[in-house]
Amino acid sequence: MSLDVCLRDKEGRTLYEDNITHNLVRMAKAAGCYESLWDPLDSPANFTLPEKIPQLADRPCGANWIQPMGSPIFAARLIPQLEVSLEILERHPDHFSVFNARNGWGNYDNLVSFVRDYLGACKEFPDAEVSSHS
């Protein structure tokens, strides 16, 4: 199984799409980017960094606001969390490599590459509507 993410413009045209294995859920949770990837509607504006990696605790992580139910999520909303999570991942490869899938389907490099590419797309298309599904 995999997670499919997509960014679309207001006319519904696909601007970016990618997918990643569900085997990386634990790693994404540990890096603080699970919500932005698997459940963007619940992606917090101000999120808590993983306790085991406090070096970035002072970094701002977005503005406070509440997403009304049924409202679209736009790519700009995910940028702060993805930026911090990518920085955490890149600074601590040994910490996150322990979450590599035992079956070989999903590893640290896969998640870093996915987050980096998705973040780049969010920055390129900040007004795009986000969708994700399994």
The CA distance from 11 to 22, in Å, is: 30
pLDDT number for residue 44? 52
Using alpha carbons, select from 38, 35, 32 the residue that is nearest to residue 52: 32
Residue ranges of domains in the chain: 2-133
Each residue's pLDDT tens digit, 38-89: 888 755 554 445 555 544 434 433 333 334 445 788 999 999 999 999 999 9
Using alpha carbons, select from 19, 25, 14 the residue that is nearest to residue 2: 19
Whether the pLDDT of residue 13 is over 80: the answer is: yes
Each residue's pLDDT tens digit, 92-125: 999 999 999 999 999 999 999 999 999 999 999 9
Using alpha carbons, select from 91, 97, 103 the residue that is nearest to residue 1: 103
Whether the pLDDT of residue 12 is over 80: the answer is: yes
Across-strand partners of 130? 7
Is 0.85 surpassed by the pTM of this model?
Answer: no
